[in-house]
Amino acid sequence: MESLRYVCQDAMAQGSMGSFRSLQAEGERHDTAPGRRLVRLLHLSDIQLADVKSPGRYEWVNSFYGVEGFEELIPGYRAQEFLVAHALVAMVRKFNELIAGEDRVCAIVTGDSIDNSQHNEINNFVAAIGGGVVSLQSGDEAMTLVAAHGFGDSSFWHPEPGDDDFKRLWGFPTLEGLLVAAFGPILSPGISCDWYVTNGNHEVLLQGLGVTNDEAAAVVVGGAKQVAPSRIFDHDVSRVGIEAPAALLQGGKMREVAPDPARHFVDRRTLASSIRNAAGTPSGHGLANDEYLYYAAELNDEVVLLCLDTAFNMGGAEGAIDAVQARWLVDKLRRYSSTSFSSDDGELEGCDGDDRLIVVAAHHPLATLTNGRAGASPDFYLGDWLLATLLRFPNVVAFVNGHTHENRVQIHRGHGRELLEVTTSALMDWPCEARSLEISVDENAVWVTGVMVNFEGVATPRYDDRSAEGLAAWHRLLAANSPALTLAPHHNPEGGVHDRNFIFRIERPAWLHS
């Protein structure tokens, strides 16, 4: 672990510092965003704020890493997961520091804000970003989670004294008192600018994958938690996790826990109501009612944010867009555009809309809008349709998303123009970052400037540091040392140099004044 701390420190140093590399002109760099600011978006994704004591989590699947059939279920456990709320509040404070005294700024959280579709999780999320007290306890105050020595087996990291695989194989430390400190109440100031949220698969599915049926619902609020499976599953285990997830939560080695009705599953109406009634601005956070989790937010008279709901509640982590939402999206794109390219012959045609630059936000990147269950139905649309649709409207400058837990920036081309896709990594996993996206205009061009944001705190906290800053720093350091980074070396969550700090140029439309 000692050598990996410097990896954490080096990557943090590359975050909010340095010049911006041009995505289109090799070798070109900028030190500041050019021209007049239109809007600054603070982009955060994949927090996965978890009730780590919930009986609705199958942490044991990590023992089957690399076994055929378990790919969609893993990870079911992370050593740092009980600290992510502290990292979230630290990021909220960082956002507030960055935007103090600024106007034309907002925040967008692109889904997987919670981990397991639970009511107590969404309550903690809105308290963290809207302002309030985050309480991680569920059931009772007993440490009934796999990270507690004597509750979970040796395959999980136990911060308290005692042997486990993380200490023996990966050099993880003993940190007495860390669990107790982590579960204390957390006071968040809330984000001090307008904030918006999109829906993710973890908001509507058990562990972001399985249907939240009655059998699973009974387990989640109940009084028994599984820490080891009852049987060896065959290669269809992921299908079981999608269609009948309660089978992965019952039998085998069970531990008694306090039942808690506050763990009950949430549906889209409950999610919308929780977000719409949360503290902070604007009122409703873009949602006009509890019917839908997609909406348009007019950020100012020059920029509009269109937020999509790409989670598919019939199971599977991949996304899809239902037909009603697809029609809504096209209507909104036309409303904020005076011209578009025809879907029939590609010719430019009039739309009679009021021009604004359009930013589209969703949880799933285009490449993961591939849910096979949805794709088999004519009532759903996938990534190919969305890309073709967004390219038709020249006012769409960027599509921002998360889901893959990695930083990635892509340029899509069609109809003689370019569309920027920005995927930002997870707060839950390394590199535990957010991103600032500034859209500006000068006499020649519209510019999109991106820079990574790290929350404050040291790279290597003291072993006895149990302060709020220290707990957030421990989250980041443990994430930086995750065995998954070694076991899956092809996965590059930090991204390449062009996936982090960048600048992107679009020709200025005639209707937009510099």
Cα 92 to Cα 43, 155, 191, 433, distances in angstroms: 11, 33, 6, 12
Residue 22 lies in a domain: yes
Q: How far apart are CA 480 and CA 432, in angstroms?
A: 9
Residue 241 lies in a domain: no
Residue 195 lies in a domain: yes
Q: Is residue 81 left, alpha or beta, with left meaning phi > 0 and alpha meaning psi from -120 to 50?
A: alpha
| Tens place of pLDDT per residue across the chain (514 aa) | 433 343 444 444 444 444 556 776 666 666 678 899 999 999 999 999 999 999 999 999 998 888 888 889 999 999 999 999 999 999 999 999 999 999 999 999 999 999 999 999 999 999 999 999 999 999 999 999 999 988 878 999 999 999 999 999 999 999 999 999 999 999 999 999 999 999 999 999 999 999 999 999 999 999 999 988 876 666 688 899 999 999 999 988 899 999 999 999 999 999 999 999 999 999 999 999 999 999 999 999 999 999 999 999 999 999 999 999 999 999 999 999 999 999 878 899 999 899 999 999 999 999 999 998 876 778 999 999 999 999 999 999 999 999 999 999 999 999 999 999 999 999 999 999 999 999 999 999 999 999 999 998 888 899 999 999 999 999 999 999 999 887 776 788 999 988 999 999 999 999 999 8
Residue 209 lies in a domain: no
Residue 165 lies in a domain: no
Task: Name the residue range of residue 124's domain.
Answer: 4-53+83-143+186-204+267-507
What Rg do the C-alpha atoms of the chain give, in angstroms? 22
Residue 220 lies in a domain: no
The CATH number covering residue 423 comes to: 3.60.21.10
Residue 464 lies in a domain: yes
Q: How far apart are CA 227 and CA 57, in angstroms?
A: 9
Q: How many domains are there within the chain?
A: 1
Residue 272 lies in a domain: yes
The answer to whether 401 and 422 are in contact (CB under 8 A) is: yes
